[in-house]
Amino acid sequence: WKGNELRATSIEQLEHVTTIQHKISSALSTSLIFLKTPNAVLEQLNVCLIDTPGFFDDAHNTDSNPTFDFLQLADEVWFMFAAEEALTYSEKIIIEKMMDIAPNMPISFIINKVDLLDEDELEELCEDVERKLYKLFHKRYPLYMYSSEEPNDYRPTIIDVLKKKKEALYVS
C-alpha cells in the first residue's frame, strides 16, 4: 500500500524494494507494505502485526521515521528494546512521542535478546525497567521477555498474552 495504490508482489520484489531501492531513496520508508504469510496462531486469533522500522537510537530525528504515521492503524503498541541496553534515553523520548500522538493507545513492552543475560541479570533488568517506566509514566505496564535464539522459552508467553487479550474482547 503506497498512496492509494494496493498491489500484490512476490517475496523477491519485496526484498528488492525494501533493501536495494530503499538505499537509493528513503521515500520508501513511508510505504506501508502488507505481507500476508501463513501463521496458524495469528490467523486463529485474527491478529495482524505491524512491524515498523527501528529508530537507530536517534530520538531527535523521529520526524523521518514512519512509525508515527502508522501508529493510528494499531490497536496496541508492543515496544521492543534490547536486553543489553533497555530503556535508553532515546527510547524514552520515542515512547513519550507515541503517547502524545495516541494517548489512549495500550502499550506493552518486550525485552528482546534475553538469552544474553543470566537469570539474576534478567530479574534485575526487569525490576529496573519496571521501576523506570513507573517513574516516567506513573503507571505499571506489561513487560514481556523474548529471545529469537531460544524462542520456545519465551514465545508461548507472548502467544498466551495474545490469546488472553482476544478472550477479553469476547467477554467484554
**Residue labelled with grid coordinates 503506497:** 2
pLDDT tens-digit series, residues 41-82: 777 877 777 777 666 655 556 666 777 877 888 888 888 888
| Mean pLDDT for the stretch of residues 8-19 | 64
Which residues, including other chains, have CB under 8 Å from residue 96's CB and lie 6 or more apart?
136
Would you state the pLDDT for residue 124? 93
Instruction: Report the half-sphere exposure of 53 (CA within 13 A, side-chain side).
Output: 22
Please calculate the CA angle 92-142-114 and round it to the nearest 5 degrees: 75
Contact in structure between 52 and 67 (CB atoms under 8 Å): yes
| Mean pLDDT for the stretch of residues 98-113 | 89
Percent over 70 (pLDDT), the chain: 62
Q: Is the pTM of this model over 0.85?
A: no
pLDDT band at 33 (very low <50, low <70, confident <90, very high): low
